[in-house]
A and B are shown apart, each in its own frame.
Chain A
């Protein structure tokens, strides 16, 4: 039995050490917001945070997350009120929506370290996340908007 902290909840799970976190989340713990896209860390659809770092859950063995904190899309804000979710809504970003969990999880770690990302910063950080529908222009816009809101909130403190 492995003990996992997912979105600040403790889960016990019976999984082999080498099972990727993606399938532990999806198949064993029924947390299906994290998506499968490629299985080789090429597309970013499965991006989650492990101790605040964006990781590709499809190639990360679950044993890596022992004693660590995992955050998934379900843990961002279940009511969708996080500034990044609001920015995504205001820009009507998604088309099919399938890659957007991963896009949001990747974008969040950019905003953790960069309060005012340039186009190049966003391109560099987000180029590991594929969107086949082509929502990139709106993702970029939403990231900038969320950055501005977060910077404002920071200023208010």
Chain B
């Protein structure tokens, strides 16, 4: 078998890119050829114009997608942006999955950031390469660059009308100096050819014929497959193990103890024992035959049900101030009506269809890694840290990701493969089972929040107090951290859009019994849930329609600066407020746009109801309206309508598909998602006890794109999820009069 088969799309073309270029710079690679030949090409050697763009003499255009593809569509959207400025033909574009390389900038494909953080840079890369092609043609014709223009994979001579193809210009263009960024010309939005167009995803044909390569599909000669029995309790360690029976299983080659789990986990392997075999089945059978004795460690008595009670005690008795304004004590004492409620969400697992998978191979002084990772640079850094080897020996190629949702940003599984490959000196693929995935994850933290509102006699909210307690993601990187951090509270808590005189925001401690990570939409899930359920409760108490209560409480259209408003250290998804303001007008606008198109005021039969929710996350704005039916305690979600304002829409169809998927992901959270911890171990194991939404539960979904041509591009992959669960819970209240404040709903209703 050929180890290069992963390079079906010339994955390895970029292996040679050195660190000589500037960050995201346009370092051209010098050709060996001494004389320039325009026609015909001597061979089809790739000519590199910058780290994102290469052109071959046969006119094919290679564009790098430097971010991982997990279904969100950026492997298509990124090249769309480059191709537009490059003025190339989409049919000629060949997308190359970028390897781990810091010259690309941040490759951690999370935070719904691939487009919003790289839009300008990608246009620059396209425009720069196009300028090099234009200059090459101008030199060839001995005319000014002002007398040429690029279009459809060719450069045209304005004087003679002649043209020369990009393929023919490639080598000459690659020798051009890199243009000064300040001199680049960009297209006007009116002339966009690919930006704003629903281009089909680039892997579509391969997916439908079974030819794609995911992490699990990597194969190398003499490769061993590892199945790892990990300690069921975090910070437990292997006391002893007996591999006698495991080694008798045909195909099992070796049994290796994993290193102990460190106090601060980061992306280290978990303590355990790996069974290595010539095929996956043998590795899994061998693992079943292992005898492992554990020292379960400090978390062995942890019970998540008891822990939630502690979170509540901490909120009540030991709150810590986060931010605020005015005087809430006075505000509540003067209020004519005070409403208070507490909301609880469980731990959740990501459960991507492809569990974590990684292959590593040490050879010739380097270590190749192929893995379904969201961040190849993190694999490099963490493997180097674990092995004490130089970072630049790690050559990391992301495969396609069979879903990820944040799980595959944590590269523990790649570290496992590196660890085992370093010992065996053979290629090792670590294959996670579904049980491994559900039981050894980086969980979305279970959360408790208390909200309290004081209303005046005009049913206006004058005073607001909110408190949150949940294990912090920071604990994964610093075991001492034990309260929600500002970067987490910036996800829909400290950036409260309501214009209220007296506000107090507090947090409390929550201990960390499992590895905590970020899952699609992160803390926006619990924050948007509590906020939108609570405002619905307040609206009902005041006998005001919920949308009117929201719109009134938002106050005047303005750009919210949470630092100015409540002295909260708002991180704004790592964007400047100048580029991505918190626009109350857009928050209001997306809700109004949705309600204008959704029949929430229709007369419904008994047992049906509509619920709404709206949220800003990842600098985009999403509103959701859901219709449910509850008959004989059986809940059916009948329709979900949603509107998103994500700024400039690069690929409208992929935005719609992300929104459809987000509604279904949000339904899993609302209806069924729950991870329990008992005796320190995760109770659930597979889709039978950690169910996710299936087709028969999926309602009609209607998606609206609001203002798809205005404003800078915002996030798309995550913003759809947060408003879904509160819209469902609010709809259930409208249908039944029952208010459920703890998810998932299948503890109360048949789903």
Q: Which residues of A contact B (CB under 8 A)?
A: 16, 19-20, 23, 26-28, 30-40, 42-43, 45, 72-74, 76-80, 85, 88-89, 92, 94-101, 104, 122-124, 126-140
Contacts and interface: CB of A to CB of B under 8 A. Distances in A.
Interface string B423-464: 000000001011100000000000000000000000000000
B297 to A, nearest CB: 28
A74 B401 contact: no
7 contacts: A32-B213, A73-B208, A73-B210, A96-B403, A97-B203, A98-B403, A136-B664
A83 to B, nearest CB: 12
B369 interface: no
Q: Report whether over half of chain B's contact residues are helix, strand or loop; otherwise say mixed.
A: loop
Contacts, number: 180
Contact of A38 (B250, B434, B698): B434
A139 B695 contact: yes
B354 to A, nearest CB: 5
Given A33-B209, A42-B688, A138 B695 contact: no
B71 A28 contact: no
A92 B695 contact: no
A132 B403 contact: yes
A46 B366 CA distance: 35
B692 A132 contact: yes
Contacts of A34: 210
Given A127-B695, A134-B664, A136-B698, A100 B687 contact: no
B5 to A, nearest CB: 10
B428 to A, nearest CB: 14
Interface of B: 1, 69-73, 198, 200-201, 203-205, 207-214, 216-217, 219, 225, 250, 279-281, 284, 351-355, 400-405, 431, 433-435, 653, 657-658, 660-665, 686-688, 692-696, 698, 700-701
A135 B657 contact: yes
Q: Report whether over half of chain A's contact residues are helix, strand or loop; otherwise say mixed.
A: loop
Nearest to A24: B281
Given A37-B434, A97-B402, A98-B402, A137 B698 contact: yes
Given A35-B214, A96-B70, A136 B695 contact: yes
B437 to A, nearest CB: 9
Contacts of B662: 134
B665 to A, nearest CB: 6
Contacts of B207: 94, 97, 100
Contacts of B70: 96
Between A16, A122, A128, A136, the greatest number of chain B beta carbons within 10 A of the residue's beta carbon is seen for A136
A79 B211 CA distance: 11
Contact of B214 (A31, A39, A98, A122): A98
Contact of A134 (B203, B219, B434, B665): B665
B661 A99 contact: no
Contact of B210 (A19, A23, A72, A88): A72
Given A19-B281, A45-B353, A80 B696 contact: no
B353 A79 contact: no
A27 B692 CA distance: 28
Between B203, B280, B435, B695, the greatest number of chain A beta carbons within 10 A of the residue's beta carbon is seen for B695
Contacts of B657: 92, 95, 135, 138
A72 B201 CA distance: 23
Contact of B660 (A16, A38, A100, A135): A135
Contacts of B403: 96, 98, 132-133
A140 B695 CA distance: 9
B664 A16 contact: no
A29 to B, nearest CB: 11
Given A32-B219, A37-B434, A96 B400 contact: yes
Ranked 4 nearest A-B pairs via Cβ: A33-B210, A98-B402, A134-B664, A96-B71
Contacts of B211: 33
Contact of B281 (A27, A73, A78, A92): A27
Contact of A94 (B201, B435, B665, B696): B201
Given A40-B434, A95-B72, A124 B402 contact: no
A14 B402 CA distance: 29
Nearest to A102: B353
B353 A42 contact: no
Contacts of B279: 19, 23, 27-28
A13 to B, nearest CB: 11
Contact of A78 (B71, B203, B209): B209
A98 B431 CA distance: 16
A42 B684 CA distance: 14
Contact of B73 (A19, A95, A134): A95
A122 B695 contact: yes
A97 B71 contact: yes
A133 B404 CA distance: 9
B220 to A, nearest CB: 12
A96 B353 contact: yes
A134 B693 contact: yes
A132 B351 contact: yes
Nearest to A16: B250
A127 B208 contact: no
A103 to B, nearest CB: 9
A99 B210 contact: no
B149 to A, nearest CB: 33
A123 B700 CA distance: 13
Given A26-B280, A32-B216, A35-B216, 20 more contacts: A16-B250, A36-B354, A37-B353, A38-B434, A42-B687, A45-B353, A72-B210, A92-B198, A92-B200, A95-B71, A95-B73, A96-B354, A97-B212, A98-B214, A98-B352, A98-B402, A128-B694, A131-B695, A132-B665, A137-B698
Given A30-B1, A32-B217, A130 B353 contact: yes
A89 B204 contact: yes
A94 B209 CA distance: 12
Contacts of A97: 71, 203, 207, 212, 400, 402
B17 to A, nearest CB: 27
Contact of A85 (B209, B653, B661): B209
A130 B687 contact: yes
Contacts of A94: 71, 201, 203-204, 207-208
B254 to A, nearest CB: 17
Contact of B200 (A89, A95, A129, A136): A89
Contacts of A73: 208-210
Contact of A30 (B69, B71, B219, B280): B219
B664 A77 contact: no
B210 A134 contact: no
A80 B200 CA distance: 15
B281 A23 contact: yes
B280 A27 contact: yes
Contacts of B402: 35, 96-99
Nearest to A28: B279
B695 A126 contact: yes
Given A85-B208, A97-B400, A136-B695, A92 B201 contact: yes
A94 B653 CA distance: 12
A132 B664 CA distance: 8
B414 to A, nearest CB: 18
Contacts of B400: 96-98
Nearest to B351: A132
Nearest to A124: B696
A45 B217 CA distance: 14
